[in-house]
Chain A
Amino acid sequence: MSMLKYILKRLLIAIPVLIGITLLDFALTTLAGSPLDALVGPRVSEDAVLAKEIALGLDQPFFVQYWIWLKQLLVGNLGYSVKSHEAVADMIGSHLGPTLLLMGVSFVVGLLIALPAGIFSATHRYTRRDHAIVTASFVGTSIPSFFLSLVLIYIFTVRLGVLPSGGMTTLGTDGGFLDVARHMVMPVTVLAVGMAGTNIRYIRSAVLEILDKDYLRTARGKGIGRRLVINKHALRPALVSVVTVFGMQIPMLFGGAVIVEEIFNWPGLGLVTMSAINARDYPVIMGVCLLSAVVVLLGNLLTDILYALVDPTIRYK
């Protein structure tokens, strides 16, 4: 079976899962209470509430409501924010970019730290430098992101005054690459440190396992040089087991970004989510929930595809 068919099949399998997610998403929000409760007050007559209920279709049975919502979803209508009356789709659209930027850069930076450190650690097992790297990665994993964020802000903004404490661009300017980059240094550091901490240990143990393999001895016996032996013959098979972990980290990063975005006032989805939750802005919460679910699904799909790419022994079934 070809790769393309495999991807297509994976996508088809994702559809029923997605439908299940929409059902849950809708049910949970409905359970949280009727939006009409917020309308009730001394100056609103019962008739008016009833009229509104009929106008909004809330008198219909659950599945009819769900069906109407689903149909609207398919044409890209996620509803309107209760607070700002903006279309939810537009709100998500305009905040998705900064989140993806922050996530993507953090992911890459995390990998750029973890890969060489993990390989070095494995090839120098039980040396002092290996212990140092393992200890550092342990610290990186254990340190809470909000704490590290505050420490960084204290040092670089409050004490040294070299980096902005929040936002994506300096107010009053139109940003530009360098300005955005300066604003990204601290949030990216926080996210990348956490990721690298975990990944160093995954990569180290994956490479260690490969170092004992017969085919590594074969590679050494071919006289192709240490660099090829480690960076090709050891790393590539090690990636097979590590790729799965990377895939699972994409949704994790998505969730972790909420806190970091909040602290650094990053105009991403995290900020939208937090303010929506605080304001009980259900349509927005539903939209973000749905998006997160889609991200998890895509992350899994990406993992499966990457897995098939790096490991030729798996069959596309």
Chain B
Amino acid sequence: MGALLEIRDLTTTVKGEMGSYDVLSGVSFSIEQGETVGIVGESGCGKSMTALSVMGLLGKNAAVRTGQALFDGKDLVRLDERELDSVRGRMIGMIYQDALSALNPVFTVGNQLTETMRAHLDVSRAEARARATELLGRMGLADPAATMKKYPHMLSGGQRQRVMIAMALCCSPKLLIADEPTTALDVTVQAQIMRLLREEREASGMSLWLISHDIGLIAQTCDRVLVMYAGQIIEQATAEELFAHPAHPYTEMLLRSVPRVDGAREALCSIAGQVPARYGEMVGCRFAPRCPYACQACQRSQEMYTVGESHAVRCHCAAGKEAAV
């Protein structure tokens, strides 16, 4: 059986005031049926852009230039809006970072939940309401019937995120894209929401694509991890492998910037500098300006080197080290 979602060489361009530039450069990866894949990276490195490109939700000033996003044999990038609508909401559900701004303030929770079901499934109004209420209960909302009648501003942050998840799951999609689902929440609520996502994934067997800048969150949840930097995937491996043997200097530094509860007390590291602007025009390794190991060879453009079973890295240096060992 092939992958559920296979992204090949996806390049997305944004039209800015000073001409257009690439925000994604040749992103390729796949998500298997039932798999949990995480994308991690700093803000502004193209994580959300990847998801929005796949969903056809890019704004007017951005467009996919090349590449494919094969889902169930259909290339989502080539579909028109109408064809996309049979996939979005039905086969792929998406939850967004800030539930308050992502929910329409003038419609009730029930209204926004049932409209998706009414659009995709052959259900009556009453049936949709019944299912939505049940779903809200499953999401851990105390009084689902009352929540149905509420407006988003009447709910707490955690409740709103639960409603968002219910909205994404209401048509039992095959893939759930969670774009920073817990960033706007406090820590205890974060843990509850992540547990809910894991439970739902296990119960339904759907695939989960988790996007976060929080490498700890990704570590707890994902089977496989992609590290993204400046519009490129720079490392991919299984979660265990990646956290045990990070190959790319960026991944290594990301991991060292997170405090550990167990193990040795190391000095926390911070990565100096920031993601370069207009990184699409860079030649050579895009991390080189911030990399402590940068050398002459980093001026060449970097390809993905295989450094182990299902472990690949976009760094000649790391590849050389592995080969030497």
Contact = CB atoms under 8 A, between A and B. Distances in A.
Question: Do these two chains really belong together in a complex?
Answer: yes
B167 A237 contact: no
Contacts of B106: 236-237, 240, 310-313
Given A237-B106, A240-B106, A312-B105, A221 B57 contact: yes
Given A214-B98, A217-B57, A224 B119 contact: yes
Given A214-B96, A214-B98, A222 B104 contact: no
B167 A223 contact: no
B6 interface: no
Interface in B90-133: 90, 94, 96, 98, 101-108, 115-116, 119-120
A215 B103 contact: yes
A62 to B, nearest CB: 51
Contacts of B55: 221
B105 to A, nearest CB: 6
A224 B81 contact: no
A9 interface: no
B104 A219 contact: yes
A93 to B, nearest CB: 40
Contact of B105 (A215, A223, A224): A215
Interface of B: 52, 55-57, 81-82, 84-90, 94, 96, 98, 101-108, 115-116, 119-120, 151, 153, 167
Contact of B96 (A218, A233, A237, A312): A218
Interface of A: 213-215, 217-226, 228, 232-233, 236-237, 240, 310-313
Nearest to B88: A223
Contact of B107 (A217, A221, A236): A236
Given A214-B98, A215-B102, A233-B104, A222 B116 contact: yes
A221 B94 contact: yes
A228 B104 contact: no
Contact of B89 (A215, A224, A226): A224
Contacts, number: 77
A228 B82 CA distance: 12
Given A226-B81, A228-B115, A313-B153, A218 B88 contact: no
B129 to A, nearest CB: 16
B119 A220 contact: no
Given A214-B98, A312-B151, A223 B103 contact: no
Give the one of A218, A221, A236 with max B CB within 10 A.
A221
Nearest to A235: B106
Contacts of B88: 220-223
Give the one of A218, A224, A311 with max B CB within 10 A.
A218
A223 B101 contact: no
A240 B151 CA distance: 15
B116 A224 contact: yes
A218 B102 contact: yes
Give the one of A213, A219, A225, A228 with max B CB within 10 A.
A219
B57 A220 contact: yes
A310 B106 CA distance: 7
